[in-house]
């Protein structure tokens, strides 16, 4: 019988039966019928060309050939299970660096990625740094933000728009609200206001934050009116946590991009990570 037809699924039946020397007990452990176990052993004996067991009135005994073969088969089968188990347990680890301002966009996509690619494990590091240097930093991928990046995959372009908490719906005196700034300067608000002709808005009260995510959170809490990227607040607006008092948005020329380390290591896992992140 050709080597390629070795009934591998019968080896487990042989090993279990050899341990019990009882077809009933072996069948119970294997969740099979006695007849199914007998057929598997018969197929294996047919392949080897000699009996593995001797059938006696009082039960089974290993044949001389079966007894000699048992240690080798047991060792090989256990090694196969170990290798298979390690391969199954091994997850693809992707070390991802991302700016905190991108978290509102990133987290829902990581949830989808975890569902669609359960073997891809993300080790996420958040930072206020908007760039990455793969030569000096231990990351496999990064989300970068700025006007000077053109490598990698474009995730979305920044477009600023004012947002405020839903508790201010219908409020007419918006100029009395505190302006929430996502940076320590007034650049973003100034850029948006400079493009508006029909928004008589005076900067009176101000609150500055270190990140856009903090400014958005403060707006949801009712602290004031924030200037934020329209992509980052999409879900908050959809869920009713935020509203846009004006529909105008202004592109800043900056964008969020996904860049990845150029390496042949773990290529399949990195490809799955990229596909999962860009696919949603």
Greatest extent of the chain over all pairs of C-alpha atoms, in Å = 101
In this prediction the pTM is 0.65
- For 16, the token pair is 């279990």
Beta-bridge partner residues of 121:
93
Which secondary structure element, helix H or strand E, spans residue 238, and what is its range?
A: helix 234-238
pLDDT at 87: 63
pLDDT at 55: 86
pLDDT at 201: 63
pLDDT at 229: 96
Of 31, 23, 19, 2, nearest in space to 78 by CA = 19
Q: Are 237 and 243 in contact (CB under 8 A)?
A: yes
Query: Who contacts 26 (Cβ-Cβ below 8 Å, separation ≥6)?
Result: 13, 16, 17, 19, 20, 37
Beta-bridge partner residues of 62:
53
What is the rounded distance in angstroms from the CA atom of residue 218 to the CA atom of residue 183? 13
CATH class as words, domain 3-89: mainly alpha
What is the rounded distance in angstroms from the CA atom of residue 280 to the CA atom of residue 276? 7
The matching CATH number, chosen from 3.40.50.970, 3.40.50.300, 3.40.190.290, 1.10.357.10, for 93-280 is 3.40.190.290
pLDDT at 270: 87
CA angle 48, 51, 52 (to 5 degrees): 90
Of 254, 207, 217, 248, nearest in space to 230 by CA = 248
Beta-bridge partner residues of 93:
121
Chain-centroid distance of CA 216 in Å reads 25
pLDDT in tens, the chain (280 residues): 445 578 888 999 999 999 999 998 999 988 999 999 999 999 999 999 999 999 887 778 999 999 999 999 999 988 888 877 666 655 678 999 999 989 999 999 999 998 888 888 899 999 988 999 998 999 999 999 998 888 899 999 999 999 999 998 877 777 788 999 998 888 999 899 888 877 666 667 899 998 899 999 999 999 999 999 999 999 999 999 999 998 889 999 999 999 999 875 667 788 888 998 888 6
Q: Structural domain boundaries of the chain?
A: 3-89, 93-280
pLDDT at 173: 72
pLDDT at 72: 92
pLDDT at 1: 43
Torsion-angle region of 99 (φ positive above 0: left; ψ -120 to 50: alpha; else: beta): beta
Strand positions, DSSP E, the chain:
53-56, 59-62, 92-99, 120-127, 141-146, 153-165, 179-181, 206-208, 225-229, 242-243, 250-260
pLDDT at 175: 75
pLDDT at 199: 67
pLDDT at 3: 53
């Amino acid at each position: 019988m050709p080597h390629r037809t070795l009934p591998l699924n019968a080896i487990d039946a042989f090993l279990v039966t050899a341990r019990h020397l009882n077809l009933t007990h072996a069948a119970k452990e294997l969740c099979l019928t006695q007849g199914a176990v007998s057929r598997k052993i018969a197929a294996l004996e047919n392949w080897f060309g000699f009996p593995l067991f001797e059938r006696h009135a009082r039960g089974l005994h290993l044949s001389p050939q079966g007894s000699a073969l048992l240690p080798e088969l047991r060792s090989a089968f256990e090694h196969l299970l170990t290798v298979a188990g390690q391969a199954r347990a091994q997850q693809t680890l992707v070390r991802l660096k991302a700016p905190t301002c991108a978290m509102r966009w990133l987290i829902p996509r990581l949830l989808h990625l975890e569902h669609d690619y359960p073997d891809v494990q993300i080790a996420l590091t958040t930072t206020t740094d908007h760039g990455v240097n793969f030569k000096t930093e231990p990351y496999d991928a990064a989300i970068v933000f700025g006007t000077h990046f053109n490598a990698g995959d474009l995730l979305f372009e920044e477009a600023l728009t004012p947002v405020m908490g839903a508790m201010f719906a219908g409020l007419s005196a918006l100029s009395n609200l505190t302006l929430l700034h996502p940076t320590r300067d007034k650049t973003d608000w100034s850029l948006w206001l400079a493009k508006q002709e029909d928004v008589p808005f005076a900067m009176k009260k101000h609150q500055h934050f270190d990140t856009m995510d903090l400014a958005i959170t403060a707006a949801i809490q009712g602290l004031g009116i924030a200037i934020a990227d329209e992509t980052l607040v999409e879900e908050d607006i959809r869920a009713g946590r935020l509203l846009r008092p004006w529909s105008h948005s202004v592109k800043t020329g900056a964008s969020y991009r996904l860049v990845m380390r150029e390496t042949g290591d773990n290529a399949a896992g990195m490809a799955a990570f990229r596909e999962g992140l860009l696919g949603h």
